[in-house]
Each structure stands twice: as C-alpha cells, then as structure tokens.
Amino acid sequence: MFVIEWLFGPPAGGVPHPDTWLSDAELERLARFRFEKRRSEWILGRFTAKTVVAAALERRGEPRPNLRSIEIVPEPSGAPYVWDVVSGRRLPVSISISQSAGRALAALLFTGLPESERCTVGADLEKVEPRSDGFIRDFLTEPGRAEVASLETPARPTRANGIWSAKEAVLKTLKLGLTVDTWNVECLLAPGPLPEAPPILSPEGSGWNRFSVRCAAEILPPWALSPVFFGFWREEGGYVLTLAVVRT
C-alpha cells in the first residue's frame, strides 16, 4: 500500500525567516525574484513542500533532516524534484506544489516502490470563485460542463473550480503543465471506479473524494501506463484541493 503525504500550507506555526530553512543556492534564487507576489508565493510553496519532505522521511523512520539540506529544484519543464545537498543525490520521491491566494498545497509520494505501486503525483489548489459561463464553455469538456449544470446553483463554483484544478493536477503529474491544450484532459469529480490498490492519504480521514481522469493518448508521456487514471479532491475553507496520481 503506498502513501501520498500532503499538506495544506502554511504549516501550523507559520513560515520562519527564509535564512533559517532555504539552502544557499535557494537563497540566491530567492534574491533574483523581482515581483513580491511571486517571491512570497515561492517562499510559502517551498516551505510547505520542505515540511512535507521532512515529515515523510521521519514517518519512514529516517532522521528528520535539516531543511537547509533539502533543495526543491525545478526540472527544465518547471516540475519540481527534491535534492539532498548532504548526499549529493536526488531523493526517490515525486513531489508537486501549488499556490493560490495565500495558501499552498504540497504532495509527495515515494518512488522506487514495487512496480504495481509506482506512481507520480500532481497537486493543485484553487480558491473557489464564481466562474463565468464563458470559462465553463472554454475550459471544461462536455461531460464536465454537464456535471456542473446538474448541480444546484450554490454548488456550481466549487465543481467548476474543482474540475479545472483537477486538470491542472493531471497536467502536473504528467510534467506537462499548460504546455498542452487542457481539452486533452477530461476530469469528472463524480467518483469513477475504485482503482486497484489505491494509495492511502496521510494525514487520513479529512474528506477526500475521488475523481476520474481520461487523457488523450497523444499527450501521454511514454512512462505513463494508461490514459485512464484517478485523483482525489476536497474542499476546505473556500479552496479546492486536488491530487492526481498516474501509474508509471
């Protein structure tokens, strides 16, 4: 049984001064940000992500690392990975980060598992806001639009933002981001069939629901095993949180 560690940040206690938890290379990167909004979102996302990495290692029985010795580094695509400064090695994890309106979501799972459990994770966070008919028409596929329309009016913004967020989480788990047309991804928040050996979410028991995904075969990277996969979504405090999981 594999585990997805997640955290809806900022962590309890807030974000300490960056000098105390960013590595030297990360502090150099921080100094290059020109816009305050990007800078504060990046700090919040990085601290939330590093907190998840430290907690996950500790839960596996390893010593809690000094956060300055873990770097969250972008691949050329922008997708993040975790670098252990002390051993000079990439940690065997898949990690994903999202920031929205003062909050952040980070999720992680260990790779290097038995073949049947090998996955990557993508996380996305959206503040729930009204979405226009134009947004729904332009960004949701027909089944998603029908799902939104089937609900009472007050429930629609969460569903529309949730479907959009799920698409972004899917495109992150595939490491594509918005480099492909989002119409290639169909997400329905109504739960699909239960996947074989689903992951456990840690912490558990906090209102996660399942969603289902179908991707156009032409956008799938060769390492993704199937165009049909799944994810989890939940609503908290006016935000919708999504996690997509693809077998590799």
Ligand X SMILES: CC(C)(COP(=O)(O)OP(=O)(O)OC[C@H]1O[C@@H](n2cnc3c(N)ncnc32)[C@H](O)[C@@H]1OP(=O)(O)O)[C@@H](O)C(=O)NCCC(=O)NCCS
Name which of residues 40 to 69 contact ligand X (CB under 6 A).
42, 45
Q: Does position 25 bind ligand X by CB under 6 A?
A: no
Residues in the chain, total: 248
Site map for ligand X, 84-123, x if CB under 6 A?
Answer: ------------xxxx------------------------
Least spacing, CB of residue 83 vs ligand X, in Å: 13
Least spacing, CB of residue 72 vs ligand X, in Å: 7
CA pair distance 246, 151, nearest whole angstrom: 28
| Radius of gyration for the alpha carbons in the chain, expressed in angstroms and rounded | 18
Rounded to the nearest 5 degrees, what angle is found at the Cα of 161, between the Cα atoms of 248 and 11? 70
Least spacing, CB of residue 57 vs ligand X, in Å: 19
CA pair distance 244, 68, nearest whole angstrom: 28
Helices within 105-192 (DSSP H only): 133-139, 142-149, 156-173
Name the token pair of 177: 């981001």
Contact 177/79 with Cβ under 8 angstroms? yes
Q: Does position 8 bind ligand X by CB under 6 A?
A: no
* 2 vs 33 by CB, closer to ligand X: 33
Q: Does position 191 bind ligand X by CB under 6 A?
A: no
Q: Does position 77 bind ligand X by CB under 6 A?
A: yes
Q: Which residues bind ligand X (CB under 6 A)?
A: 42, 45, 74, 77-80, 96-99, 124, 168, 171-172, 175-179
